[in-house]
Every structure is written in structure tokens, then in C-alpha cells.
Structure 1
């Protein structure tokens, strides 16, 4: 290579570096200026929550905003989902960004001016509704991201697909919904997505900070039922019965030995929780049947299969030992949320630019679950946590997600906007 070629390449690289710095500065300036609107959107959504597969008003709110930005909009995907498509002014990949929209049947206790007083029907009952997991923040962040990127459309390398997803918390009853239905209805196609990014607000991570993990990050979520059939009798003569309640308690204890004595938790954590135990109608009648319901969390697909088999064997053999019968049903709800290691390594600088030096760190894997995992079956995926805990608060004292006291500080949601925008602009680099 001659000296003139070397100089030309050096100048070109210098120009690209300056251009990247300019885009980063524009993103930072626009996201910071937009923060009051993002907070306003988040608080409006918080005050008007909707349950899974019922997010009609939320979808209308989102779609109207995207249309106002000149973004191509599709509605009615996976029942109430909204997808926006923004074609940039330069050639490049298709990058998808996802936010979930649904709230939970929880009665809000936090004393905030935008507190939810909404009620709705859930499985035949009237229930309070609250954004007790922070999905209102996710929607507002993605709306803000859309506004920033729409203003920078001519400079965007490729296409951005904004995915506003319903029913992340799980559709009610036997309905389909959530990410599996979004994928089934083609959200990762037309155009085909090259990479997808998502975030989740955390009530126990300080505002302004980001946490991530390569590989397995969040657990699979499987739900199980164990139907036990015994023999009824009068409570005064239990020897005439095959007591399904006693068998059920023995099964519960047996399931815990799978975690404590059988699963190799050095490889990955395992959680088996029985959350419901239904049996009987009167204190002096031993019933014929009992029903256990619970959840299984694993962070390794091989371990997931192994644990399922151990649960079936443990329940049926314990029941047989008492001449009862146990029928085990396991419903796979959510896959392991897996972050593509190469994608994480490549895009980590984008998060560092968004949050600032020293504010992006590695986290431990968690046994919570996310249906974002289904998008990762179609394209490399990267999911990360964004801090929502007030500065100076003890994470151990922070109200948990899915509880009436759940609370986040929304004063730094612009960090999430900056992260999404930087990911879009930086992904083009090979």
C-alpha cells in the first residue's frame, strides 16, 4: 500500500469517527430535550393501565404518536400489538426494538398523583389494574426513541422496526398472546429482522445505570399442575380413605428434593414453586381429589427437560406409594432469555455511551422470566436492565415488581432512549 492510499484511508476513518461522534451528540441532545414528554407519556399510561390482550387504548395512543412522526404503522398484530416501520436514508440492516404494553391485576398503594384507580374484568372477576412491572416506562421510552430517530431519519443506516407488544405477562385463560403470537404472525419478517433489542426497568437498580449479562440471563417459565385422585371418606375414619391432601403434601416435599438433592445447581439455578393447593369442601370430609399448581424456572434447556421428567416421576411414584394416582401436566410458557454473546460484545459500547462511564455493569442471571426470549429464536437478541430506583435507596428495601407498592423514579428514562438510539446507529458497524 502506497503512502497516498494510507493517508486516504486514515482520513476516511477519521471522518467516520467524527460522524459517529456527531450522531451520538445529536442523540444525547434530542433525548435529553424530550425527557419531559417521555415522563408525561409514562405517567399517562400509568394512570390508564390495561390488562393483557386488552390494551386497546394503549395501542391507539401509541399508533397515533407513531403516525404523527410519519412512521408506517401496523395495528392489530397479536390482537392489540402495534408495529412501526421507519426506513432510514441510508442502506443498512433491519433493527427491531421492543416494548411490552400490558399491566397487572394489582391494587396500587403508592401515593403518586398519577396513581391508577382503574378496574377491569379478569377471568370473570372485577379486579384493580396497575402497571406494577414498569411496562408503562418501556412504552414511553420506545415512543421517545421513535421521535428521536424519526428526526434523524436521513442518517439512519437501514430500517428500524418498533414493536409494541401486548400480553407479556401472559394472556388470560386459554387465549393466545404475547411474543409467541407476535412471532407467529410474522413480526420478525417483512422485512426480516437482523437483530432485536429490548430493555426492562428495574426497581432495585439505581436510576441512570444499566445492567446486562451475556448468554442465559432470565429463566424459562413453565407452569405445572398435578391432579391427585384418592378415595374419600369421613374425616373420623381416615383409614377408609386414600387421602389426596396428605399425598399432595408429600409430593410438595418431594419436589423440593429435586432442587436440594438432585439438580446440579453448579451448572444453573433451578426453582420449583407450588403456588396453589386446592382440595376439600368441609373440615370433616376427606376429599377424593386435590390439585397442585406451580411454576418451574430453569436457565439451561437440558436441565429444563431433566427437571420436567423428575417432577413427573416424583409425583406419580409418591402417589403410587399411597395407592393414589397423580397426573402431571407441564405447560411451557417462556423460553430462557438468551443474549447472543457476539452481539453483546459488539453493542456494549452503545450502552456505555448512553449511560456514561462506570454505569454499565454485568449482572447475575435471574429466575424471573420474559417472553422477549421468543424473538431470540428468529434473530440475535440483546436484552438489558435499566435502573429505576431512586438514588441512595437500599436495593433490598425497594418494592418488588408485581406488588402494590411497586415504584420507579422516572427522572432518567432518557438513558433508555439514548441506549436504543445508539444501538440503532452503531449496529451497522461490522
Structure 2
């Protein structure tokens, strides 16, 4: 009886594809090792030639040419510069989506790297430097590497994979234009392809290279861009009683919102951040102007809390303005919903991450008040988003220049680690869902 059981076990194992029977991380690492020189070359080239949101034409051309070289048929021009391609495996299985963002930031680079960006551009009317200060150059390189590895074994691959190279994750260079993920979806990215899961990653200065950060449920905040216009009545600065001062009202409203967050919102249950980044008013030292404009961001993790905070903000603005004889108009635009990792998918993916990084190197992340429009994909299908450590050995991540800093410095070992993690996640998911 025991001999027959052993024989049956051997027979079952022989039916399992070699990709699964082998040490999984070893198979993945072979593919990553072969791709590492190209990962570095892609990343350095893209880093030296960054492009702002909606302007990623050179980047998109590089992506499309490589996907064609892999035998794929990329769709280009989605949301302006977005690129997508579907790899069909030789065996039946699930459909999944993997996404990388392509755009850079209006930041003048201060890293001193030999391939540092010297690019300048005009951003919302102002001359700026342009830098991959958030690591999207690494994201593009990683996803190109994953596409290359999966295409190399397409005959034995179960299912289908859509590779999405997205523009304008940081927002468009043109004010008021949609962010890239929503625009790609609005233009029919998933019209003929319905994935059952979506995956994304981000290199992260807050983690040591070799670490991977993940979290089930809410991970990244929703991001709203708000604008408050206070209209008073212009008068001479020496006679404020003859007019209505919108600057004072604007300041009172801003302070009122901070009291509201501290005293009216249960931030022990869910964090809320409301920040003003601009306060513009007037042209002369002795004239009280007619209008003042404040612009800022609201970060929340819960849709109901978000709606409640916006309603309170509007009430505070209206009441302070009314008390002073002014008017106030608040507009709020949601740039990205909260990024929420599907709990079932999170549980399923974690062993894949541990195969690559080791169980002790997969870190449970606290809530992050940054935002990401990967959430647009994760709102359509179950999604999972993780962070890949990018701060080199010997540097304290808590002291390292953060993402968006002009001195953000990526340890290029993060390229191989990111590719290995995403490749392991996708292959494990596809193999588990194979139908024969």
C-alpha cells in the first residue's frame, strides 16, 4: 500500500510543469540574472532622459519597440503616450494585468550620478528641471524584464498577461487633464481584456534594498486636490474696515480645517491629512486684494470619511466667509482613490514574495499617506501593490532622501529584486490557475 502511494505521488509530480517542480525562486533568479545587465541599461538610459506626465513619447517608443521584439503587438497612444500589450501563453489559465508607470517629476536632479538628468522643461508655466525622482525609470525597466522572461517561455505559460505602461501617474503637465490610469481605462484599455487580478510595485527609499513591503487592505491614501477661492472687497491696506480682507478669511479657514481634523475626525480609527501647498493673493504691500486662493491636498483611507471631511471643510469655509462678509468657493477633484490590497489576493501572494526575499525580509507596512493611481485598476479587479526597498546597504532608510527628493538615490540591486518579486508573483499566480 505504501509503495503504491509513493508511486502515485511520483506520477503526480511528473505531471506538474518543470517550472513549478523546480525550486521556484531558483528558476526566477536565473531569468533575472540573465536580464540584469539590460535592466541596468534601460534604467540608466531612461533616467538620463526623463519625461513629464503625458509627454513620455521617447519612453513609450522604447517600450513599444522592445515589446515588438518579443513578438508582441503593443497598442500605443492610449491616454496619449500609454502602451499596452497582451502575451498569450500556450496553456489555458487566468488573465492578469501588470502595470508600470513611466513619467518623471518637475525636479532638478542633485544626485551627481554620471547619468544624472540634465533635462529641463516648462511645467504649468514655470521652467523646471526634470528627474526620475520617484523611480519610475526603474518600474519601466522591471516590467520590460518581466515581459522578456515570460515571453521566453510563452509556449508553457498558462493564461494571458497584459503589460501596461502608464503615463501621468504623477499627474499631467497640463492643469486639469486626467491622470494616466483613469484616462487609459476611459479610452478602453480593458474593453477586450478582462483580468481577474492586477499587480503593481514601487521602489521605495523607506526600505532597505532586499526588503519588500506589503499590507493587506488599505495601503496608500486617496488623493484629492482642493482649491478654495475667497472673495472679499478690495481696499487700501491702511483702511481695512472699508473692505473685506480675503487673506485673513483664508487664514482663518485653513486654521479651522486643522482644528476640524484634530477635534471632529476620529483619526485614531483612520488617518486624515489636509494640507495647503499654495496661498496666493494680492500684488502690492498696501492693498488688500479682492481674492485669495488656497490650493492643497486631502489624504484619506475611507470613502465615507473622505466625504465627511469635505462636507465639514465646505461648511467651515462658508461660515468663516459669511461671518466676515466674504464668499468662499471650494472645489475638490479626486486624483486617485485609496490603494487597497485585496485581502484574499494578499494572502495568496505573500508566499511568492517570501520565496524571493525570504520571510524575514517581507515587511508589514503601516498605512502610507502617499497616493497612487494604480488604485484605478485595483478598483476594477482585485489588486495587489507592493513596495521594493531601494536604499543601499550602510544607509539608514529613515535618513535617506525620500522618493520625490532631488537627491533620491536608487540602489540598482532593487531592479533585480523588483523583477524577481514581480516575476515570482505572476508565474505562481498563473500556474495556480492553470486549467490543464
TM-score, length-scaled by structure 2:
0.95
1:277–1:40 CA distance, 2 compared to 1 (3 A): same
**Distance in 2 of aligned mates of 1:278 and 1:79:** 32
Q: Which residue of 2 is the match for residue 197 of structure 1?
A: 199
Aligned to 2:418: 416
Whole-angstrom CA distance in 2 between matches of 1:163 and 1:49: 18
Aligned to 2:156: 155
Distance 1:195 1:403 in 2: 32
Deviations 1:11-63 (CA, angstroms, capped at 9, x unpaired): 41575386514254322111022112101110110000000000000000011
Question: Which deviations, in whole Å up to 9, do the C-alpha atoms of 1:72-109 show, x marking residues without a partner?
Answer: 21111111001121111111011111000000111001
Question: Which is worse superposed, 10-19 or 69-78?
Answer: 10-19
In structure 1, the residue matched to 2:87 is 86
Which residue does the alignment assign to 1:76?
Answer: 77
Structure 2 CA distance for aligned equivalents of residues 9 and 301 of structure 1: 50
Q: What's the CA shift string for 1:291-347, capped at 9, x where partnerless?
A: 111100001111011111011011111111111111111111110001000001011
8 Å Cα contact 1:79-1:177 kept in structure 2 = no
Please tell me whether the aligned partners of residues 188 and 375 of structure 1 are also in contact (alpha carbons under 8 angstroms).
Answer: no
CA RMSD of aligned residues (A): 1.9
Distance 2:282 2:414 in 1: 51
- The structure-2 alpha-carbon separation of the partners of 1:72 and 1:5, relative to structure 1 and needing over 3 Å to count, comes to farther
Name the structure 1 match of 2:183: 181
- Equivalent positions of 1:24-423 (< 5 A) are 24-171=25-172, 172-423=174-425
Q: Kindly tell me: are residues 15 and 360 of structure 1, through their superposed partners in 2, closer, same or farther at Cα, counting changes over 3 Å?
A: farther
Deviations 1:146-171 (A, max 9, x none): 11111121221111111000000011
SS in 1 for 2:414: coil
With 13-22 and 413-422 compared, the bigger mean Cα shift is at 13-22
Q: Indicate conservation of the 8 Å contact 1:119/1:129, yes or no.
A: yes
1:238-272 residue CA offsets vs partner (Å, 9 max, x unmatched): 11121111111111100101211111012110000
Report if the CA contact (8 A) 2:179-2:335 is conserved. Answer: no
Checking the alignment, whether the CA contact within 8 Å between 2:106 and 2:130 is kept in structure 1 is yes
CA distance in 1, matches of 2:233, 2:209: 56
User: 1:187 deviation in Å?
Assistant: 2.0
Q: Identify which range, 387-396 or 120-129, moves more after superposition.
A: 120-129
The normalised TM-score by structure 1 is 0.96
SS of alignment partner, residue 407 of structure 1: coil
**Within 1, Cα distance between the matches of 2:384 and 2:321?**
43
Structure 1: any 5+ residue segments left out of the alignment? none
